[in-house]
């Protein structure tokens, strides 16, 4: 058997962050979780759908902890490992932290996948961690019916640099650091229409570390951050709106997109997760009456290893956007604003 002839995506019922439970299901599951109030050191827990947990050790140090794993979004084993690891590390950056080490999470159907393929997945994950300057210090593995890979990641941050998704302020401007459309590209891949150039574009964005988050947290003008993953730009914007008790306005025409997103979305290459996302939170979103369905699918498209949504002072936004682009995120764009009002998201344009 040719180890590298195995199509990883054929072994999974879903892929990447599109595997995430629908937002409405997740909220119901967490509804009875005990409050974290008795733990004075726990600055960030599960109460606001933030990207990671944060524990304050002393006046100078916080520990940031997260875990993220999913099933294959691509067939190349090494690329899958790189994407999954990059995505997991992103949660640390989204909180304003710097990662220091990772633990691997591995579930593999050992009767279906050759050892060489699993090794390639692990090698890809290790390569992403090496790019972030951290070791894979251990992990845990199980025999599973579908391939699963990801990381638990630990990071550090000064308490003053923690950036939650609850800290957006009316008057802020919004920046998105990476283009949207990974889920649409993934659907095109499964249908056999993704060409080599588009695949390279997809791998380029999904393996680009969100390390800019740690740099942005050094700016007092940056108030809130979150990474845009499985719930799409609308879902994660809504989490920011709810946590911050403010209204977010997203400019549809300003959103950066991967090169062929419009073409493939109009051709129907969208994910089931996009539909589940809209069913979960669509009642809380205001869309222009003339917005076509394909554009709505872009807004709810699950992003695997997506970019950061950044809320910052409006007067600083152009300078920050230029800094982000210069740091290696050429698609970074100013995509909206925060206004006073009930927690909501409105799409304009």
CB 18 within 8 A of CB 186: yes
222: helix, coil or strand?
strand
Contact between 73 and 229 under an 8 Å Cβ cutoff? The reply is no
Give every CB contact of residue 11 below 8 A, 6+ residues apart in sequence. 71, 72, 109, 112, 113, 146, 147
From the list 17, 129, 157, 312, the catalytic residue is 17
Tokens 């210069």 sit at which residue? Answer: 326
Query: 196-206 and 77-94 are packed helices; what angle lies between their axes, rounded to 10 degrees?
Result: 40
Contact 165, 240 (CB under 8 A): yes
Q: Which helix (H) or strand (E) holds 63?
A: strand 62-70
Sign of CA dihedral 220, 132, 92, 307: positive
What's the token pair of residue 3? 């180890």
What percent of the chain is helix, strand and coil (3-state, nearest 5)?
40, 25, 35
Whether 19 sits among the annotated catalytic residues: the reply is no
Query: What whole-number distance in Å separates Cα of residue 336 and Cα of residue 254?
Result: 8
DSSP for residue 41: T
| Alpha-helix residue ranges (DSSP H) falling in 175-310 | 182-190, 196-206, 212-216, 232-244, 261-266, 272-281, 293-300
CA distance 107 to 205: 25
Catalytic residues: 17
């Amino acid at each position: 058997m040719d180890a590298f002839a195995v199509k990883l995506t054929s072994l999974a019922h879903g892929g990447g962050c599109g595997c995430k439970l629908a937002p409405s299901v997740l909220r119901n599951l967490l509804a009875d979780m005990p409050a974290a109030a008795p733990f004075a050191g726990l600055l960030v827990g599960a109460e606001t759908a933030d990207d990671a947990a944060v524990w304050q050790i002393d006046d100078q140090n916080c520990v940031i902890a997260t875990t993220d794993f999913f099933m294959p979004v691509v067939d190349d084993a090494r690329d899958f490992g790189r994407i999954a690891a990059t995505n997991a590390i992103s949660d640390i950056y989204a909180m304003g932290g710097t990662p220091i080490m990772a633990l691997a999470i591995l579930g593999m159907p050992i009767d279906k996948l050759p050892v060489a393929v699993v090794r390639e997945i692990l090698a890809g994950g290790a390569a992403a961690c090496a790019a972030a300057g951290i070791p894979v210090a251990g992990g845990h593995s199980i025999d599973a019916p579908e391939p699963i890979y990801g990381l638990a990641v630990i990071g550090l941050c000064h308490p003053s640099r923690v950036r939650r998704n609850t800290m957006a302020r009316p008057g802020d401007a919004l920046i998105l650091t990476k283009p949207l459309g990974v889920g649409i590209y993934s659907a095109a891949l499964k249908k056999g229409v993704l060409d080599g150039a588009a695949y390279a574009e997809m791998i380029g964005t999904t393996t680009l570390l969100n390390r800019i988050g740690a740099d942005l947290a050094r700016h007092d003008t940056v108030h809130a951050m979150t990474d845009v993953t499985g719930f799409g730009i609308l879902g994660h914007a809504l989490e920011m709106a709810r946590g911050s008790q403010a209204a977010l306005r997203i400019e549809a025409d300003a959103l950066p997109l991967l090169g062929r997103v419009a073409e493939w979305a109009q051709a129907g290459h969208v994910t089931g997760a996009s539909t589940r996302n809209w069913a979960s939170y669509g009642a809380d979103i205001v869309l222009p009456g003339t917005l076509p369905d394909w554009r709505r699918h872009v807004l709810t498209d699950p992003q695997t290893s997506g970019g950061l949504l950044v809320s910052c002072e409006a007067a600083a936004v152009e300078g920050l956007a230029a800094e982000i682009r210069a740091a290696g995120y050429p698609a970074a764009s100013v995509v909206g604003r925060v206004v006073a009002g009930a927690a909501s998201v409105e799409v304009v344009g």
